[in-house]
């Protein structure tokens, strides 16, 4: 069996054998779908009480993705655990002894985890959309409407890139506690503060999550960012590439 195939198979076995990583994917699905459904149901009930401006800017597609903010935290945990679990248990020495080519080692880990995250994220995005639109009733959108399919596919891509970004940061920091201690406050608190404070809003627009979420939006009447959906996605992709590249460089230079 070729070396690459062996590495990929080994990484797949590692992910399957650690229950915590599998559970985080399940939590991501449940949280994203459930919270999106709850918000969609509440919006449908109170829609006629919205102001004319709020009705004009109402985005049924993005509303169904209201649970993505919490769901992405579970995907971050998954990404961190995939990379840093071996450091916390000391198994990283064994893994690097078996695969001394560190680039190949990281490539195998990222490839398997990214493909798994992509499958889960895409399924979650489509389920979330259809459940949300069903609950929105007459106020919902259809998959064939302009921009909707792009937004739904973008939702899956967004969750996948968040996972890869977390893996890059975990490769840099190595410790699961340190990685989560940086990523969780950043995405759950700091990013939202920066983008909602006028003095820091322009900088906040270029953070990975704020830029990446633009791809899930269809109605952009109030969008003040100087880029569109795919521009925001490209900005997020650059953040991901930078995180993975930095993780790879540090993996090469440091001892296990």
Segment 67-72 shows an average pLDDT of 93
Percent of the chain past pLDDT 70, that is, above it, reads 99
Q: Cβ-count burial of 241 within 10 angstroms (0-12 exposed, 13-18 middle, 19+ buried)?
A: middle
Whole-angstrom Cα distance, residue 220 to residue 218?
Answer: 6
Q: Write down the domain spans for the chain.
A: 3-253
Segment 8-17 shows an average pLDDT of 86
pLDDT confidence of residue 50: 83
Tokens standing for residue 123: 């399924």
pLDDT confidence of residue 256: 57
pLDDT confidence of residue 39: 95
pLDDT confidence of residue 95: 79
- Report residue 7's pLDDT band, with 50, 70 and 90 as the boundaries: confident
Whole-angstrom Cα distance, residue 36 to residue 192?
Answer: 19
Whole-angstrom Cα distance, residue 215 to residue 233?
Answer: 6
- Looking at per-residue confidence, does 195 or 131 come out higher? 131
pLDDT confidence of residue 92: 79
The predicted-structure confidence for 120-139, as pLDDT tens digits, reads as follows 999 999 999 999 999 999 89
pLDDT confidence of residue 72: 95
Percent of the chain past pLDDT 90, that is, above it, reads 64
Phi-psi region of 101 (alpha: psi -120 to 50; beta: other; left: phi over 0): beta
Segment 163-180 shows an average pLDDT of 94
Give the three-state DSSP class for 254.
Answer: coil
- Report residue 82's pLDDT band, with 50, 70 and 90 as the boundaries: very high
Count how many residues are written for the chain: 256
pLDDT at residue 1 greater than cutoff 60: no
- Looking at per-residue confidence, does 183 or 85 come out higher? 183
Segment 136-151 shows an average pLDDT of 93
CA distances from 32 to 38, 54, 58, 127 (A): 10, 23, 20, 10
pLDDT confidence of residue 102: 86
Integer-rounded Cα radius of gyration of the chain: 19
Q: Which of 163, 155, 12 is nearest to 75 (CA)?
A: 163
CB 167 within 8 A of CB 36: no
- Report residue 178's pLDDT band, with 50, 70 and 90 as the boundaries: very high
Tokens standing for residue 168: 């890059």
Segment 230-242 shows an average pLDDT of 96
- Looking at per-residue confidence, does 74 or 11 come out higher? 74
pLDDT confidence of residue 87: 82
Q: Which of 235, 231, 230 is nearest to 209 (CA)?
A: 235
Whole-angstrom Cα distance, residue 54 to residue 34?
Answer: 24
- The answer, as to whether pTM is greater than 0.85, is yes
Q: What is the mean pLDDT of the chain?
A: 91
């Amino acid at each position: 069996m070729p070396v690459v195939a062996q590495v990929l198979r080994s990484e797949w076995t590692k992910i399957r054998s650690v229950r915590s990583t599998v559970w985080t994917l399940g939590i991501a699905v449940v949280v994203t779908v459930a919270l999106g459904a709850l918000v969609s149901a509440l919006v449908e009930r109170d829609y006629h009480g919205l102001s004319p401006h709020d009705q004009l800017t109402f985005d049924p597609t993005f509303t169904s993705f209201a649970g993505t903010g919490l769901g992405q935290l579970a995907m971050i945990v998954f990404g961190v655990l995939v990379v840093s679990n071996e450091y916390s248990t000391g198994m990283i020495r064994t893994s690097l002894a078996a695969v001394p080519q560190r680039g190949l080692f990281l490539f195998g880990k990222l490839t398997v985890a990214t493909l798994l995250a992509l499958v889960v994220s895409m399924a979650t995005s489509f389920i979330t959309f259809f459940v949300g639109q069903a609950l929105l009733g007459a106020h919902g959108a259809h998959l064939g409407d302009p921009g909707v399919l792009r937004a739904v596919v973008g939702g899956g891509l967004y969750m996948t890139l968040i996972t890869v970004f977390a893996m890059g940061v975990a490769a840099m920091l190595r410790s699961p506690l340190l990685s989560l201690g940086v990523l969780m406050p950043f995405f759950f608190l700091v990013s939202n503060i920066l983008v909602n404070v006028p003095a820091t809003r322009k900088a906040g627009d270029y953070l990975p999550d704020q830029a990446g979420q633009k791809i899930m939006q269809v109605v952009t009447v109030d969008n003040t960012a100087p880029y569109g959906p795919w521009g925001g996605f490209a900005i997020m992709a650059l953040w991901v590439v930078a995180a993975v590249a930095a993780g790879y460089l540090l993996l090469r230079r440091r001892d296990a």
